[in-house]
Structures are given as C-alpha cells and as structure tokens.
Amino acid sequence: MATTTAIPAGIRAGQLPRNAPVGLLILSLVVTGALFLVFLLAGMTAAYNVTGAIFFGLVLWVVVTYVTSFLVEGSRRAKDRLVTTLVCTAFGIALLPLISLIVTVLTRGLARFDVAYFSESMRNVTGPGGGAIHAVVGTLEITLAAAVISVPVGLLSAIYLVEYGRGPIARGITFLVDVMTGIPSIVAGLFAFALFALITGNAGYRAGFGGSVALSLLMIPIVVRSSEEMLKLVPMELREASYALGVPKWLTVLKVVLPTALAGIVTGVMLAIARVVGETAPLLLVAGFTDSMNYNLFDQRMMSLPVYVYTQLTQPGTDVQDFFDRAWAGALTLILIVLILNVIARVVARFFAPKIASR
C-alpha cells in the first residue's frame, strides 16, 4: 500500500496533475462566464455575450496554463504546454465556422425544404411559392454530362500513365494534369464560353453543355490523379501472374488490374463529382440563368442549383424573404447532395475494396 502511493508521487513530483489542463480550461470558462454575467447584470452589455465569454475564457486558459506550468514545472515544460493549448484552441476555432455554417443552412433552409420546392420551377413566380426543380434537373444533366466526358478521358489517361507511359509524352501529360489542377474555375468557364462562341459564331452563346465542358475541365485532373493512385496500388504480382498464364497485356489490364482497383476508382469519381457539383462561376458564365425548365442540354440557358442560390440571393424581388428562403433551401439541397456523394464514396471504398495485404 505504502509503495503504490509513494512511487507515483515520486515520479510526478514537480509536475502538474494529469488532468490540470482540462481543469484549468473549465475554471477559466467559469470565471469569464461569471464575469460577463456581471457585465450583463450591471447593464454594460445588452445581451449575454457568449462569444466574448468563450473567447476570453480561452485566452485566460492559455495564459493561466502557461503561468502555472512556468511556476511549477519550469520554462521548457511551460512552453510545451503553451503550444499544446494553442494547438488545441486553433483546432477548436477551425470547427466554429463549420458548425455555424451547418446550423445556419439547416435553420434557414428548412423553411422552404418542402414538396413544392422540388416540384415547381420559378416560371412566373415573383413572390412566395415557386421552387427549384428546374435547377435540380439542370444540375443533374450538366454534372452527368461532365462525368460522361471526364471519366473515360481521365481513366484512359490514368491507365496510359500507369501501364504504358514512358518517356516525354507521359512526363508531359503528368505536367499538364498538374497545370489543370490549378486552373481557376472561372477560367474554365471563360474557356468553354470562348470555345462555343467561336464554334457556333454566337457571341451570346449560353447552353448547359458549355457548362458540362467547363466542369469536365475541372473534373478530369481529379479523376486522373485518383485513378492513377489506385492503379499504382494494384500489386505487380497480380499482373505478373496473369502474364505468366499467357494473357495479353490489354486483357490483363481489363480483367485483372481494373477490377482490383475498381472500388478506389469509383470512390475517386464520386469525390470528383462532389467537388464540381457545387461549382458556380463557370455555370454562371456559360449556362446562364433562367426561371423556366429546360431539359435540352444543347440549347438555351439552363439553370443549375449553385447559380439558383446565387441569383435568388443577389436578385431578390420585392418580397426579399421569399427569395432568401428559397436560396437557403437550395444551399441545403446542395450540401446534402455533396454529403451524400461523399458518404457513398466512403462506403464504396470501405466495403468493396479488395483485400490487399498491407504493403
């Protein structure tokens, strides 16, 4: 009994107790919380200042931890604790915008997240009512067309780079994929506009397909990068076993390499779609905006969900709140689509991945 209590005391002598940081954090928050309550009761602030209480509580925590540690443990450990508190605080602060965003979109978006929203367009709507079905259809068509362009091109390029590519052509393609990753989305939109304006000779060209071309320009590099990574993960032994059985290279790639990497490739494609489905700028330029339903990808302006949110916010009619409600409902829909795509991607990666021995 005597030894079990004596040893920990000896080891931890001259140190703060294990739960000191958490205890000090609670203490600081209570102190500043009480202080701001006093400010409220004294009439210095109109409402209880939650942000201020938390902020100054965190500042107090950082200072108090440093000072106590400095007095008890010395300057080196005090500096270590200072960095620990700062790093934890930074992570906490980074979470605040995310929480604020999600709460805002949920509370403001649910007002119009109803059946009418997903069954009506904005044609002849100037006040309440209306919906975003034309924008949802537009987003689906434009994004699907972009995927139909980018997936074959991206996948074939990845196969070329991993299985065939040697020498200057492969190096050139790798370099250009890197360049493409950095293209600003608005430049992709300008390119698609310039391309179709020159081809059709129509200086005011607007159509959904132009948006698809712009999006595929942004999507191809993501698909190439992720597929390349996945193809490289396929063990060389699998290919060699196939060659040893006399299978030609193209059948090996098609029947052995691709099925092994399929789950990863599908995940990459899903994430690429999630990445471009929220792109606004290129669609604003090339696909334009409209209040009416348009099923034809190749003719006339076509609304998409991000542009819908943008126009509802920036061009509200007389009754502003109706437009803002529709915009937030659109933002909620958009975030849900992105989240669902991300979840599907992770599920595919988790459950359909082949069992490869760890490298």
Partner 1 sequence: MTATIAPVVKAPKRAGDRIFSGAALAGGLVILLALAAVAVFLVAESLPAFGAKATDIPGTAGQFPTFWAYVAPLAFGTVWAAVLALVFAIPFSIAIALFISHYAPRRIARGLGAIIDLLAAIPSVVYGAWGIFVFGPFVRPFWEFLAETFPWFPLFSGPVDPNARSILTVALVLAVMVIPIITALSREIFLQTPRLNEEAALALGATRWEMIRMTVLPFGRAGIVSASMLGLGRALGETLAVAMVLSPNVIISFFLLRSQNPTTVAANIALQFPEAFGTSVNVLMATGLVLFVITFAVNAASRAVIGRRAAGKGI
Site for partner 1 in 90-149 (CB under 8 A): 90-91, 93-95, 97-98, 100-101, 104-105, 108
Shortest Å, Cβ 3 to partner 1: 26
The stretch near partner 1 (CB under 8 A) out of 1-9, 40-48, 247-255, 349-357 is: 247-255
CA distances from 266 to 29, 223, 258, 335, 341 (A): 47, 9, 11, 20, 11
The stretch near partner 1 (CB under 8 A) out of 1-9, 124-132, 165-173, 347-355 is: 165-173
- At 287, phi and psi to the nearest 5? -85, -20
Structure tokens at 314: 């920036």
Number of helices (H) and strands (E), helices first, in the chain? Answer: 14, 0
The stretch near partner 1 (CB under 8 A) out of 36-44, 140-148, 231-239, 242-250 is: 242-250
Chain residues 172-191 in contact with partner 1, contact rule CB under 8 A:
172-173, 176-188, 190-191
Closer CB to partner 1, 6 or 15, in the complex: 15
CA distances from 165 to 24, 157, 161 (A): 59, 9, 4
Closer CB to partner 1, 56 or 289, in the complex: 289
Alpha helix ranges (H) inside 160-287: 167-181, 185-200, 208-233, 236-244, 249-252, 258-277, 281-286
The stretch near partner 1 (CB under 8 A) out of 5-13, 27-35, 116-124, 330-338 is: 330-338
Shortest Å, Cβ 30 to partner 1: 24
Closer CB to partner 1, 30 or 181, in the complex: 181
Q: Evaluate whether 62 touches 82 at the Cβ level (below 8 Å).
A: yes
Shortest Å, Cβ 5 to partner 1: 27
